[in-house]
Amino acid sequence: MTRRNKINAFAAGFFALCVLVTLLHDTAFAHDDFADIVRHIEKTYHVHRSHGFVMGFAGLVVKVGHPAGVKSMKCALFEDQHLDETAADYRLDDIVRDAGKSGWQSVVRSYSHRTGEHTYIYTKMSGKDLNLLLVTVEPSEAVVMQMKLNPDRLAQFIDEHTHPNHDREDGDLEAMAR
């Protein structure tokens, strides 16, 4: 292989790599707000996740089974921990607020002076899917969860479980009352 062919092969490979990185930029290299929030909780409060393997397995089950329209789920639990400094943790507010820069829209943001509980719920549309980011931090526990949902299947699931008798006839209701 001549020197010129090596340079051309290198240039073609470099160009292909640049195209690949550009295409993957929105997926593989996207900013992960979930991971940032979990790292902040771990570093600030010097705590570790509880049930990491179980939560990972639950995420896999959700990804395969899609219960109630949930397409994917990431969850970090911090149970029976000492998160006593939550009342003065203004950095948590900043980190969760920075999620808005990634396209997340705040739905609920709450802080209780009495209990020291921080609660944040953010949503973001991704095509036809709804992404949900939930963060709650209390003095003894915390939960960070991110889910990707099919809004139509979720609405159907909620409707089925809030109105369970809508398909039954009056005779079925009388039989259940006995």
pLDDT in tens, 78-121: 888 777 665 556 677 777 777 777 888 888 888 888 888 888 89
Give residue 60's Cα distance to chain centre.
14
Give the pLDDT of residue 131. Answer: 92
Does 9 fall in a domain? no
Does 62 fall in a domain? yes
Encode pLDDT of 110-133 as tens digits. 888 888 888 889 999 988 999 999
Tokens 């179980």, residue located:
54
Give the pLDDT of residue 146. Answer: 92
For residue 75, count CB atoms less than 10 angstroms from its CB and return exposed for 0-12, middle for 13-18, buried for 19 or more.
buried
100 with 106: CB under 8 angstroms? yes
Encode pLDDT of 20-55 as tens digits. 454 444 444 456 888 888 888 888 888 888 877 677
Range of the domain at 90: 30-164
Does 150 fall in a domain? yes
Does 91 fall in a domain? yes
3-state helix, strand, coil in the chain (%, to 5): 50, 25, 25
Number of domains comprising the chain? 1
Cα dihedral: 57, 60, 66, 68 (round 10) = 30
Give the pLDDT of residue 27. Answer: 47
First-to-last alpha carbon distance for the chain, in angstroms, is: 89
Does 173 fall in a domain? no
Does 146 fall in a domain? yes
